[in-house]
Structure 1
Amino acid sequence: MELQPKAYCFGCGACGAICTRGAISFSADEEGFLYPFIDPVRCVSCGLCQKVCPVGKEHPLAEHYPAAYAAKHRDGTVLCRSSSGGMFTALSDLWALSAGGAVYGAAFDQDFSVCHLRAQDAASRSAMQGSKYPQSRLDPALYRAVEQDLRDLKKVLFSGTPCQVAAMRSYLGCRKVPVENCLFVDLVCHGAASPAVWKAMLQSVSEKYGPLKEVSFRAKDEGVSVHLLKLVTASGDITERAKKEYAFYNIYSSLCMMRPSCYSCPYSSLKRQGDFTIGDYADLKRQHPDFFCEEGVSSLLVNTEKGEKQVAGLQQEAQLLSVPLAEVMQQNLEMPTKCPAQREKFWSCFEREKWAGLQRSYGRLSITRKMIFHIIVPLCRKLGIYNLAVKIYMKKS
C-alpha cells in the first residue's frame, strides 16, 4: 500500500488507528512532524488506510453557508483563561459534560508537548482551554476511545483543527459508528507549528531559568490584543524577559515552521468539517464596539443543523450577537497560509544552530514587517479593508 506524499499528509493519525494489523507506525522527520510508515511484513493490502485518509475527500457538511456570531462566555473567569471568547468551554459544558459525556481536545502533556486528551470533568477539560500553536499529536488509542464512547451512547465533543476533525469523521464513518451523539468543533487554523522548534525553545528556557511550571499561549495579562506567551519556571514568571528573549510569535509569524500540507490546506474555506467553527473576532471593536470587551470575544460559525439546534441552549452559557458572515471572514476562511520563499533557509538555520539560530535570524521583526504589523494592518482594519488587502497581497506575491 502507498500513503500520501509528505507534502499532502496532515499527520492526523487516522491510518494508524484504522489498521487492524498494527502495520502503520509514526516517526518524526527533521522538522518534528509525524508521518506514517507501513511495515510491509504486517500489511495485508486491505486498503483501509487509503479509505480512511481524509486527503482529497473534503466537502461541505451543508449546502448553505454558515450562520455567524460574535460570542463571549458569561463567566469572566472562563474568559480570562480562554484565548478569545471561551466558546470551547461553553460548548463542551452544554453538549458533553452536563450529560456525563466526554470532551476531546488539545492539551499540554507533562513535558509541555501538545497532544489530544480525553476529559470527563471540568478540571480536566480546563487543561484544553486556550490556543496550542504546535501540532497536536492524535494517537490511535484516542480514535478508539472516541469510538468506544459513542458506542456506549455517551455524548462526545471532539475539537481540533479542520483536518483532525475531518480525520475523526472519516474514521468513525469507516468503523460505521453513529455520530449523532458527537459534536464536532473545528478551529480557524493558520497552520500547525513545528513540535521540534517548540521543543527547542522550551529546552532553551529550561536550561537558563529552570524547569517549566506553566505555559500559556495568548495569556491576557496585558489584554486580549497583546499576543503574550506566558512562561513560568522554577525561578518564577519570566514572561517579561521572554518577550525579548523567546520571541516565539515573531518566529511563528515568519510562516516557515508550518507543516508542509498547511500551505495547500483544503479546509481554508467555508467548507468546514465541524458543526461549529470557533476563532478570534479580530475586527469586532470597529464593527460592534458595544459588544467588544478586553477579555476577548470569539467568532462562531454554525455549520450544520445539529449546530443550529444548540444555539438556544448555548445562549445560557454565552452572549451571542448575530453578525453578517462577511464581518467574521479572515484569510484562513478563504485561503491557506502562503509558503514563504525563505522556508528552506529557515530549516537550514535550525539544522545548524537550533533555537539560538532561529532566535538570532528570525526572532526580531524586520523594518518592513514592523510597518506591516504595526501600521498597515491596523490602518486597514480601521478602514474596514483588511480582508481585501490580504487578497490583493496574496495574489501579487
Structure 2
Amino acid sequence: MRLMADEEQQAEAPSGPSAEDEKRAARARRRAALGGARRTLRDGFSSTLRDRLAELTRTAGDVHDLDERADIYGDGVVEALEQRVAGLLGFPAAAFFPTGTMAQQAALRCWAGRTGNSTVALHPLAHPEMHEEDALTVLTGLRTVHPTTEPRHFTADEVRGLGEPFGTLMLELPLRDAGFLLPSWDELTALVDAARERDAAVHFDGARLWESATHFGRPLTEVAGLADSVYVSFYKSLRGLSGAALAGPTDLIAEARSWRHRYGGNLFQQFPTALSALAGLDRVLPELPSYVAHARVVATAIGEAFAASPGVPWFRVHPDPPHTQEFQVWLPFDADVLTEAAVSQAEETGVALFGIWNRAGAAPGLSMTEVSLGAPALEWTHEDVHAAATDFASRLPRA
C-alpha cells in the first residue's frame, strides 16, 4: 500500500517544463529580441499581422486600381503582375505561381518534354537539391547530375565534360547555399554557351535575380535573356507576401499553367499577394543596387572589427566583397553560443547585427550566419557596423 501511495504522489507532482516547452520559450525569446530591436540591417519578417496589413493598405492604391474587380483564377491584378514581370525580364509571357518550388518543377518538366531528356544538370547546393525534399524526382520524375560538388559555380569545361547527356542546365543565380555566389559575366555566358553545345535548354533559378544585375553590370533583360526560362521570387528581396513567377516563351508558359493547375496552384483569388509583389517591383526593386553597394561597407566593417577583436581567433566574410546584398559570416564557435550573443546584444542594446547562427556542415565548433541587407541597413555607417561587431565579439567566450 505504501508503494502505491508513493507512486500516486509522484504521478501528481508537477513535472516541470518539457524539453519542447524550453525550445518554444527559446524561440519566443529570439523572436522578441531580434524582431523588436530598434536597429536592424533588414526589414523584419517578424512584423505583426497588423503591420503587414497596414503596409499593404498603404501601398496597394499606388500600384493598381483598387476599384477594379477582384481577381478570379489568375485574371485582373494577377494578370497585370504577369505582364509586368514578362516585360522586366524581356520574355513574351510569364505565369504567377504560389511558390518557386512549384514554378521550377513546372519549368523543368516542360523542358524535359521538349528536349526528350529528363536529366537536369545543376549544382548539388541548388535549391531543388537542398530544400525541396526531393520533389523534383518524387513528383516530377526527373533525375539530376552535378557538374561539380565544389562550393562554387561549376565551369563551362565541367558542363562540357559531363559524361552523359542532359536536357536542361539549371543555374541558381546567386547560389545561396554557397554564399550567394555569382559567376562573372564572362563565366555566365560561357556556361550558357556550353549548355547550348550540349543541345540543352537553360533555366535560371532567379529567386534573387533582381539584385544580381548589379554584379553583372547589365540590365535585367540582358541577364535573363541568356536563359530559355527564368523563375523569380516576390518575397525574398522584394518583401512581397509570397509568390513567384515563371517567364519564358509563350508556348512553354501555356504548358506551365496546365502543370500549375495539376499541382493545385491555380488559386481562386490572390490579390493580396499580387498587390504586394507589384509594390515590391515599384518600391524595392529600384533600391536594390544601393543595398548591394552598401553590403560592401557592412562586410568591410565587420571584417575590420573582428580582425581587431582579441576574442575572435578566426573569421571569414564570404564572399569578400559580397556579390549581392547578402553574404555569409563564419566563426569558430558553437551555433548556440553565437546565437545567444546575438540575442543578448539585441536585448541589451536594441541593436541586431546578426540573427540566428547555424552549424557549418560537419565541422564541430564552426558556425555560419547569413547577413541580409534591406532599407534599414542604409542608415548604418561603417562606424555603426564596426561598433556593433566589436560589441558582438566582446560577448563571445575567451579561449
Structure having the higher Rg: 2
TM over 0.5: no
Pairwise TM-score range, normalised by the shorter structure: under 0.3
Relative to its length, the structure with more strand (as a share) is 1
Relative to its length, the structure with more helix (as a share) is 2
